[in-house]
Amino acid sequence: MPSSKAPAKTEQPPAGSAATATASANLADSVIRILLASDTHLGLNERDPIRKDDAKNTFEEIFRIAVEQRADMVLLTGNLFHENKPSRRAMQTAIEVLRNHCLGNGDVSLDILSDQGASFHGNYKSVNYEDPNYNVQLPVFAIHGDHDDPGGEGGLSALDLLASANLLNYFGKVPNTAHIALTPLLIRKGTTKLALYGMGHVNNDQLTRALERKEFNVARPSSDPETWFNVLALHQNRAKTSTGTAGAVKEALLPSCMDLVLWGHERECTLPSSVADAPVDPGVKFAVLQPGATVATELADAEAGKKCVALLQVCGDNYKFEPIELQTARPFVLREVVLASHADERELESEEGLAELLAEQVEDMLAEVHAKFPTTPLTAADENRQKYPLLRLKVDYTGFSTLNPQKFGARFVERVANPSSMLKFHRSNKGAKATKESAGGKEGGKRKMASELDEEALPSEVPQQIQGLVSEMLAGNTKDQLRLLPQRMLDAAVFEGFVGKEEKGAIQQQTDQWLEETRKKMQRRMAAEMARADGDAPNLSSRKDHEKLLEKIAQEEFEAAEAAATAEGVGTGAAGGRSSGAGPSGVGSAPAGRRPAA
């Protein structure tokens, strides 16, 4: 295995000796084998007659691989379910797969050394395989994602139900996003000691703010902290550049004491073939593994690559991993055609000519799929995937007209899994800008809003576009601006709670919470004003004076909240973001430095 620091020099026994065999056996007994998977999205497209079993088949394959690879544990980094309130069918699928593969008489070689009550939630605060009433042979550790995060009365997630049924170990809840504290699960196998940190999905801007303000506490093992291999599993938007992206988390802000970060939520699989091929970022001291989603959730560029899981092996200070391509992923081909490049050879002004060109492109894409699967499928599921691939043809129609995507897709109903959403018409930025200016520009006509709804948008994209429309409208210099409730509270109540999680009381709950926080702040401010020296104190001799002061304080609090939300969205700040803190039994404070991972 690749090493993260120089090994100590020891005298080697003769090759083939009993001592060599014993040493090799001891080394094998100290390797922790982890099957890493992310974003399984059980319940995705379950009403689609063709794609309804895609997520189920892939989820089952993940656990077949775990058994075949003799994994010590399975680690799921968020979005096990596609819906915050999964259907009975999706929940039954999860229960059946976990029961079939995780329960049995096999031995578990992982010892938990830390205070488990600090890591797990609910009434059962210990790993499931230590329960004498159950025979667990394959432990599953899971954090929640942005689709299956806790919410509603009691703050429960769908993962809480599976954990209460003793089918998996749910960890990584963050009860306070203003002051985040991570406590590790201390796992030992042989001589290998693994400190596993988990952080389920939290608001990206709130996390960035906590990291930048050093309000992010990482508890370290109190005994020989430098001998532990530190792994962080999280589920967040990942910044595409080192300078950061609004609504995303920069790697450089994460705790520098980590050796390895396992990144969930991102759909694209960026696993290199080996540790040696992994990209090196000079701004961070740890490596990042991003397995990507195991099933295509949207017809986007990030989904067009291979779907993989990873077998991660940790031994002492060393680790290695092996990407394993999933065989049950539905074939997906994405292509783009620019109509302007075919204008000289085709009659694209007519709908018939345009349809003919696009049909040829689709036929080429289908031929590409069939070339990848020349053999006869062995099962009905294999036949379904090969017969009905996913296709997305992006059409740049700048300077031309479009056609009806649903009508065009009807001719491929028996050959494609997504005929109605196969085409995606768009205009180049330059062409779209010119069209807007000719339609009215800044001086005339009704200006088109930047976040205006796209008629060909996928259903999953519509809520984000509506949120953008509302935000843009409220940000304008009109009478529709918010005066009491800040924008971030409105977004959390309406789009995250009421729409995203289907919580009927989300708007009332968020409003009451904000009003209560504002009332307490106003009381403290009023008390401070009253306590000021007589010469500096405002004139509060009448009720009207009190009302004016209260109105002033309320306006200042509102402006401060809006400014804080704006600052969170920008996400600027220095690299770092690690502070050490005390933890439960077996965990304590430790210095900030840590060796880099191989």
**298, 304, 309, 313 alpha-carbon torsion, rounded to 10°:** -130
Contact 101, 63 (CB under 8 A): yes
The span from the CA of 200 to the CA of 171, in Å, is: 8
Cβ–Cβ under 8 Å, residues 248 and 255: no
Look up residue 199 and give its two tokens: 């952080």
Alpha carbons 220 and 16: distance in angstroms, whole number: 40
Q: How far is CA 116 from CA 128, 176, 575, in A?
A: 11, 19, 31
How many Å apart are CA 74 and CA 64, to the nearest integer? Answer: 11
Contact yes or no for 233/197 (Cβ under 8 A): yes
| Sole residue written with tokens 């058994």 | 67
> Position 545: which residue type?
D
Please report how the helices 54-68 and 88-102 are oriented relative to each other, as an axis angle in degrees rounded to 10: 10
| Rounded Cα gap, residues 207 and 503, in angstroms | 23
Residue with tokens 């049950």: 328
Rounded to 10 deg, the angle between the 543-570 and 506-531 helix axes is 120
Strands (E), 284-376: 287-289, 308-315, 318-325, 332-338
Task: Sort strands 32-37 and 260-264 into parallel, antiparallel or unpaired.
Answer: unpaired
Read off the tokens for 271: 């696993």
- Can 546 be counted among the known catalytic residues? no
**Element spanning 588, H or E:** strand 587-588
Please check whether residue 182 is in contact with residue 578, taking contact to mean a CB–CB distance below 8 angstroms.
no
Q: Residue for token digits 């789009």?
A: 495
How many CA atoms within 13 Å lie on the side-chain side of 28?
A: 7
Residues in Cβ contact with 205 at an 8 Å cutoff, skipping those fewer than 6 apart: 247, 488, 565, 568, 569, 571
34 in Cβ contact with 314 (< 8 Å):
yes
Hey, what amino acid is at 495?
F
Question: Is residue 478 packed enough to be buried (19+ CB in 10 Å), middle (13-18) or exposed (0-12)?
Answer: exposed
Under 8 Å between Cβ of 266 and 292:
yes
* Choice among 101, 144, 147, 265 that is catalytic: 147
Largest CA distance in the chain: 96
- Residues with active-site annotation: 147
